[in-house]
Amino acid sequence: MKQVTIPISDETIRNLKVGDPVLLSGVMVTGRDAAHKWMVESFIKGTQIPTPEDETIYKEIKPLLERGVIYHCGPVVAGLENKDYKFVAAGPTTSTREEPYQGDVMRHFNLKGVVGKGGMGAKTLAACQDVPGVYFHAVGGAATLIAKSVEEVLGVYKYEFGVPEAMWIIRVRDFPAVVTMDAHGASLHAEVYKKSRAVLEDLLAVA
């Protein structure tokens, strides 16, 4: 089990390989569809004019994402009424929905880690090699267990997107994950797809 501290250095990233179990500690940011679309359209591709508030948020999240980690997660959060936030459940969201955006976000923010479930595609894998960065696979169905690694909720941005889609800033300790896409071009997900495809073709040939 490798201990990985956020912010993450390039050296640490390059030393991680597919199959490595890790425990992540430090500050990470949650973000799903709405957050990724907002970041790309407002600040990367410029297809949407950001509001002054958006500009302020961008300036505040940029240093958090620099050598940081984004977590595909729609948490269940207690304490919404008095803003005494606490993660009750923090399971990973299926990551493929962010494939159109993830590579651009990684390159723009120098993002070193992406956490989710199910893996991602060729665009994200290319960004993992370029930045460099890695994809960390979190265990689906373990939302309550993962929430125990969230020591503190430091704040929230884009709350208007709704609780699951907002960008929550969290401090984690010993967040469990496995490297399934690395900075050397290896992807466990691509390998599984290739093998599954071969088995399917053999079955179809027999039929």
For the annotated catalytic residues, the residue numbers are: 36
Residue 107 CA to residue 127 CA, distance in Å, equals 7
Q: Which residues of 68-106 are buried (b: 16+ CB within 10 A; e: fewer)?
A: bbbbbbbbebeeeeeeebebebbbbbebbbbeebbbbbb
Strands 2-5 and 21-30: parallel
How far, in Å, are 20, 118, 121, 133 from residue 64 at the CA level? 24, 25, 25, 15
**Residue 138 has what DSSP assignment?**
P
Q: Is residue 142 packed enough to be buried (19+ CB in 10 Å), middle (13-18) or exposed (0-12)?
A: middle
Residue 69 CA to residue 61 CA, distance in Å, equals 11
Residue 157 CA to residue 162 CA, distance in Å, equals 10
